[in-house]
Structure 1
Amino acid sequence: MSFELMNKHKFEISTTPGVDPGTFARIAAGITSAEPANNEELSQDKYMDGDGYGETDVIGAQTVLSFSGHRNYGDAAQDFIFSKVLELGNARRTQFRWTEPDGGIFEGDCTIANISQPSGDAGAKGEISFEIHFNGKPDYTPPVAG
């Protein structure tokens, strides 16, 4: 059994929103953690024939990736993301691509959210965090067999 380290995942953000194919910058330098979540919306119901026990259906979702690490000025991805800190609406939208170690790719339109600028102790690296929210269901390309 093989377990891949998280640094084998490749995360990229378009620094030229709306341009096809666009320019993608890798989100990696200074990043210490990436946490994907499906943010599922659940419908939990109890029916008369369930003897008081419930059922759950997943009725909605949004794929969100949370990143944290240290601010690396001059890094194309971080500079683009942090240039949006005061922006709202469409100015926070772009495209995102996530390539898994096995070659599977998730990609699609996204919104940059919850940008937290550098913070921390005087003698420490500036700690940052931000989220990438896919808008709609991301396109998925499975890995090539072989």
Structure 2
Amino acid sequence: MAGFELMNKHTFEINTTPGASPGTFARIAAGITNVEPNNNEELSQDRYLDGDGYGETDVIGAQTVLTFTGHRKYGDAAQDFIFSKLLELGPSRRTEFRWTEPDGGIFEGECTIANISGPSGDAGSKGEISFEIHFNGKPNYIPPTP
């Protein structure tokens, strides 16, 4: 699979001690089966008289959101921290997040943990979970070292 990296080569980390410097970053990996990044783009779609009825699109806003799904693993530092926020609102859902790509590029910044769900499922199955990490503002991107 030359040129194609597997998703398990990405590293996702959440700060479990928000406000502390340098913080304690725990890897989001155990029990996680899928992650879906989305730029949640806001579009301006306009039609002008000189376009013969055809429109044009500009991206006028965005927010990077990662949706994680998988199974609840109790005792995992990242999952325990995230699920400890289930009933919390406001600033207590904020922390820092870091996403390292296989080539070494890093997206990092402040985030909010949102839409925490589960565990749920059939009686004989592993507890299914999902949660989202919403970057607050544009993430800082550190390019890979050549």
Deviation at 1:63, TM superposition (A): 0.1
* Counterpart in the other structure of 1:41: 42
Deviation at 1:2, TM superposition (A): 1.1
1:78 is paired with a residue of what secondary structure?
Answer: helix
Distance 1:106 1:81 in 2: 19
Distance 2:31 2:136 in 1: 25
* Counterpart in the other structure of 1:102: 103
Deviation at 1:48, TM superposition (A): 0.6
1:59 is paired with a residue of what secondary structure?
Answer: strand
* Counterpart in the other structure of 2:4: 3
Q: Count residues in correspondence.
A: 145
Q: Are 1:120 and 2:104 an aligned pair?
A: no
CA RMSD of aligned residues (A): 0.5
Distance 2:70 2:118 in 1: 11
Whichever residue aligns with residue 104 of structure 2, its letter is G
Distance 2:118 2:36 in 1: 18
Distance 1:3 1:87 in 2: 39
Deviation at 1:81, TM superposition (A): 0.0
Question: Equivalences for 1:9-48 in 2 at 5 Å?
Answer: 9-48=10-49
Deviation at 1:117, TM superposition (A): 1.7
Whichever residue aligns with residue 142 of structure 2, its letter is T
Task: Tell me if the contact between 1:32 and 1:70 (Cα under 8 Å) persists in the aligned partners.
Answer: yes
Deviation at 1:129, TM superposition (A): 0.2
Distance 2:98 2:51 in 1: 43
How high is the TM-score relative to the length of structure 1? 0.98
* Counterpart in the other structure of 2:139: 138
Deviation at 1:116, TM superposition (A): 0.2
Q: Deviations over 1:93-125 (max 9, x none)?
A: 000000000000000000000000200000000
How high is the TM-score relative to the length of structure 2? 0.98
Moved over 4 A (4+): none
Deviation at 1:19, TM superposition (A): 1.4
Distance 1:24 1:7 in 2: 18
Distance 2:36 2:60 in 1: 22
Q: Are 1:53 and 2:54 an aligned pair?
A: yes
Whichever residue aligns with residue 73 of structure 1, its letter is Y
List runs of 5+ in structure 1 lacking aligned partners: none
Distance 1:19 1:136 in 2: 20
1:90 is paired with a residue of what secondary structure?
Answer: helix
* Range that drifts further, 15-24 or 122-131: 15-24
Q: Deviations over 1:48-70 (max 9, x none)?
A: 11000001000000000000000
